[in-house]
Each structure stands twice: as structure tokens, then as C-alpha cells.
Amino acid sequence: MEKLLELCNISKSFNKELVLDEFNLYVKRNEFVTLLGPSGCGKTTALRIIGGFEKPDRGSVFFEGKDITDLAPHKRNLNTVFQKYALFPHMNVEENIAFGLKIKNKSKQYIEDKIKYALKLVNLDGYGKRSVDAMSGGQQQRVAIARAIVNEPQMLLLDEPLAALDLKLGQDMQYELIRLKNELGITFLYVTHDQEEALTISDTIVVMNQGYIQQIGTPESIYNEPENAFVADFIGDSNIIDGTMIEDKLVKFLGVKFECVDVGFGSNKPVDVVLRPEDVILVDPQDSELKGVVTSLIFKGVHYEMDVMANGYELLVHSTKMLPVGTQVGVCVDPENIQIMNKPASEDEEVASLED
């Protein structure tokens, strides 16, 4: 699949504070890519540079192989849907959708056909004459998307477009975005700090922290094979435990040796051990060398969330089996569910681990 967008060595500072540092990324045609990270990590700045709303201090932006770094936003073959939607309150739905087409001097019939097509695509048939102020947040967001797609951009940029919606509506809109991407064949670049959102909608996730890319991969690889402690901790819940790699496929943590599948870490080396809560198996105490006691219990609907104190460490455990507080348990983990990571030598190394 060919590259549609490429960012090369992008650096950007605000008030002498570095936001992006030698940032490199490419997006393939028809891909749904999500920039994911905490507030201040640089993801929205990267999006605004792509959209032409910010200019990098250094580096270049290429679109379809052409340098568009200095090109004005309206001259780029992409459209942005902002978190605030940026709809015109004095215009109705049709007028909002038609705005960009009128600027391009499209014919009246062309505009009418495009409006009809876009309203149907975003499930707003019959809403054309309605005031945008009289619409719900979810409906306004659909109007903003319709206004963007009638311009037939090759790429759609979305800056946390679901942040203002309630949980159920936000989940519904996630599936709508997936449907739109599949129907339109448009490349999506999406910005969010919501891990579940990113895992649901993305083909590729770019995890960012402090202006650096920490990991790029499919939702499955990001979740199941985090490359450092930041990714493991940020994507879903994780237990990150100090351990020692005894030898290939054998690790010791919480005072107990466990078989694993990792190799190449050396002998008797300090490592970080990552256990996902759903991968921790609670058994009868006599069936495991590692023993603990349940210290808290919360019902989460699809599972119970428990804290288990084991050899001085409080493990987070997700299980469909309810065990009351005070229950003595044994702790087991299948070898393939134990993730081993090298310990960073310093915090700076951890942040920039994939830039070296």
C-alpha cells in the first residue's frame, strides 16, 4: 500500500518548549491511523501541522510525494474535523455542508446532489433545513463530518471529535466512523487520548509521549506486545513488576520463578514484567507457588476487578469468578501471557526509547 502522507524530521516548539522533536511518520492510503497519547504529548500539534494550521520549526510534510509544508490549509487535499466542530451557527445544516463547495464555485445542482449524498451517508436525511443550534452534539458532529467529506478529501483529519459526546453516543459514533472509512475509501488520521477508542477504530495506532513516538503497530500488537513500560501502562490496565531474567524463557518476580516465552535478555538481568489483569489466573493456594489474598472486590459488569496482595505487591486482577475480600488464593500466569521488557537506564531513555 502506497504512502499518502509522510512527516520527515518534524520539530516544533511553543514558547521555547519543545513539543515535537525530530518526529517521523508515514500514513498509507486508505489506512485509519490514530495518534494516541496523554495531553501535551504533541498529537494535536502534529495534526495541525499536517492540516496546515501550524508550521514546523524544522522538517517537511509530504502529501502524495509533494512537499506541502508551506501550503495553505485550503489548498491541501485534506479536511479537518475539530473537537468543537466549528459549525456556523447562523447557517442551517445544508448551508454548513455547502460552504466549502460554494467557495469552490461549484454549480447549484452539483452542490444539491452532494448535500443529499452527504446527509444520507451520515444518517441525517431530512435534517437539511434544521438549525445547527437545535441539534444534539452527535448530530452536530455528523454535520461537521458531512461538510468535510463533500469536498472529497483524500485524507480526513479528526481532532478528538468524540470528546464532547456521552459514552453511549461516542461508542455509536466510533462504529459510524469505521463504516464511513470503509464506504468512502478515505484515509483517516485521528487524534485521541482515549485508549479504548483507539483500539476500537484503528488499523494502526501511534502511541506518543512528550513529543516522541513510543510505539507504532496494530491495536492487537500495541495491547499484547507493548515495547516499553509507558505503552504497557497507558494502553489498558497493567501490572508492571520488577523482575530478573534468570535465563531464556525463565523469569523471577515476586520471589517466584515463572516460565515465559521471551529470549535474548541475557542471564540474571533486571527487567520489567508486564501482566495484563485478565491474564492473571487465581487458583487454590496449594496449586501455585505464588500465594496472595484478595484485598478489594469491585463488580464491573462483564468481570470482577480485584486487588490481590502477593509478596508485598498489589496485583490488579480481572476475573469472571467472584472471590470475596479475604480469600486466600494462588496466582498463576500462562508463559505466553508474561511480557518481558528491558528496564530503561533513565527517564529520558524511556521517553525516547524508539527514537534512538
Q: What CA–CA distance (Å, rounded) separates 309 from 317?
A: 11
Domains of the chain, by residue range, sit at 3-224, 237-276+333-356, 281-330
The CATH number fitting domain 3-224, selected from 3.40.50.1980, 3.40.50.300, 3.40.640.10, 3.40.50.2000: 3.40.50.300
Q: What CA–CA distance (Å, rounded) separates 167 from 174?
A: 11
Q: Does residue 194 contact residue 205 with C-beta atoms inside 8 Å?
A: no
Q: Which CATH class is domain 237-276+333-356?
A: mainly beta
Q: What CA–CA distance (Å, rounded) separates 198 from 163?
A: 13
Q: What CA–CA distance (Å, rounded) separates 307 from 280?
A: 11
Which pLDDT belongs to residue 1? 62
How far CA 193 is from CA of 35, 66, 166, 249, in Å, comes to: 8, 30, 15, 35
Give φ, ψ of 293 to 5 degrees: -140, 140
* Side-chain-side CA neighbours of residue 246 (13 Å): 12
Q: Does residue 10 contact residue 23 with C-beta atoms inside 8 Å?
A: yes
The pTM of the whole model exceeds 0.85? no
pLDDT tens track, the chain, 356 positions: 689 999 999 999 999 899 999 999 999 999 999 999 998 899 999 999 999 999 999 999 999 999 999 999 988 988 888 777 678 888 899 999 998 888 888 899 999 998 998 898 888 888 899 998 888 888 888 888 888 888 888 999 998 888 777 777 788 888 888 888 888 888 999 999 999 899 999 999 999 999 999 999 999 999 999 989 899 989 988 999 999 999 999 999 999 999 999 999 999 999 999 999 999 999 999 999 999 999 999 999 999 999 999 999 999 999 999 999 999 999 999 999 999 999 876 444 444 444 44
311: closest CA among 255, 272, 273? 255
237-276+333-356 and 281-330: identical CATH topology:
yes
Give φ, ψ of 94 to 5 degrees: -60, -45
Domain 281-330 adopts which CATH fold? OB fold (Dihydrolipoamide Acetyltransferase, E2P) (2.40.50)
